[in-house]
Amino acid sequence: MLYLWASRLLLIAGSLLIIAGTIYGGTISYMMWRESVSPSTSQVLILKDGTRIPFIQPTRPAEQAGGTLASRTQPTSPRNGPSTLNNPETTAPGDNPGRAPSHEGNTGEGITSPSSAYLPPLRLTIASIDVDLPVVLSNSKHMPQFKGVGWLMGSSYPGNAGNLVLFGHLDGPYATFSRLRELAPGDEFSVTTESADLRYQVTRLFDTLRDDVAVLSPTSGATATLITCSGQWDPVLGDYSHRLIVVAVLEPKQ
């Protein structure tokens, strides 16, 4: 009788082990296949016209960002100019009011970077609007729920080639960028890392639609894009209709 039970137990235990092994092996195989086809760590910008722009920044310091990098990071199709509210107050002098502003021409190409290290931003300081806040890695699914600035995952590292994207809340308990609209071309702000204090100069401000993800596009030079909400609050969508975009370039000779 004892042997019979022992035999049954072994049979059940063996079967369970085989089932567990098969499930685990199957899961790993599926993930290996999935990662080879479409890696989980990669991101892609999908524009309104369906254009897909890989969200990959140049992996070289700005001082090395030349024509090669520019061609490497150029989108496969021309970027759409962002739809704007045509707010003359937020448009840089010299911009054609009839033409939607874009990042074109603000790539910061050729600017010398003071830092070649890939260190994350720790703090954002915009003295003119009393912003001095911590910066943390973030994305649309995981936003700061405290008085902090989000650093978009996949965007550039401070002081390096590419588009450094920082965003903050316009209103609510975690409002950080409520006065962002007060910035003007020529204003400066600094992004602090563990080893450097990097200064950026604002080149333009504009409003764009909330789905205009082209503003996140990688750039060949060292640029920064600050984002907060603007426009009208849509209670149905639970979101603002527009975003205020502030484009800046890394200052040379730091």
Partner 1 sequence: MNRVKRIASFITLGMLALSLAPTGVQAQQAARSETVTVQVDVRTPVGTQITGTIVAQRTCSDSGTTLTDLSFTGMVNGKPASASATGTETWSGNSAAEFNLGSVTAWNIPLTKPTTLKLNIVQTGPGLISVNGVPVAIDGDLMAPCSGKTLYTVTNAGQSTGQIVLLPKTGVGSIWANPLFIVTLLVVPGTLMILLSGLVRKAGERRVTASDSATR
3-state secondary structure of 64: helix
Q: In whole angstroms, how close is the CB of 120 to partner 1 at the nearest point? A: 4
Are 99 and 67 contacting, i.e. CB atoms less than 8 angstroms apart? no
Nearer to partner 1, 59 or 110 (CB): 59
Q: What is the DSSP string of 49-117?
A: TS-EEE----SSBGGG--HHHHHHHS-SSPPPPPP----GGGSPTT--TTS---STT---TTPPPS--S
3-state secondary structure of 227: strand
Are 100 and 81 contacting, i.e. CB atoms less than 8 angstroms apart? yes
96 near partner 1, rule: CB under 8 A = no
Q: In whole angstroms, how close is the CB of 150 to partner 1 at the nearest point? A: 6
Applying CB under 8 A, the span of 84-92, 105-113, 198-206, 233-241 interacting with partner 1 comes to 233-241
17 near partner 1, rule: CB under 8 A = no
25 φ/ψ angles, rounded to the nearest 5 degrees: -60, -40
The size of the interface with partner 1 (CB under 8 A), counted in residues, is 69
Nearer to partner 1, 59 or 201 (CB): 59
Q: In whole angstroms, how close is the CB of 24 to partner 1 at the nearest point? A: 8
Residue in the block written with tokens 């074109």: 104
Q: Which residues pair with 169 in a beta bridge?
A: 175
> Which positions ≥6 away from 66 have C-beta within 8 Å?
109, 110
Residue ranges in 125-164 that form contacts with partner 1 under rule CB under 8 A: 134, 136-146, 148, 150, 152-154, 157
38 near partner 1, rule: CB under 8 A = yes
Which residues contact partner 1 (rule: CB under 8 A)? 24, 27-28, 30-32, 34-36, 38-46, 55, 59, 117-120, 122, 134, 136-146, 148, 150, 152-154, 157, 167-173, 177, 194, 208, 210-213, 215-216, 227-229, 233, 235-236, 238-240, 243
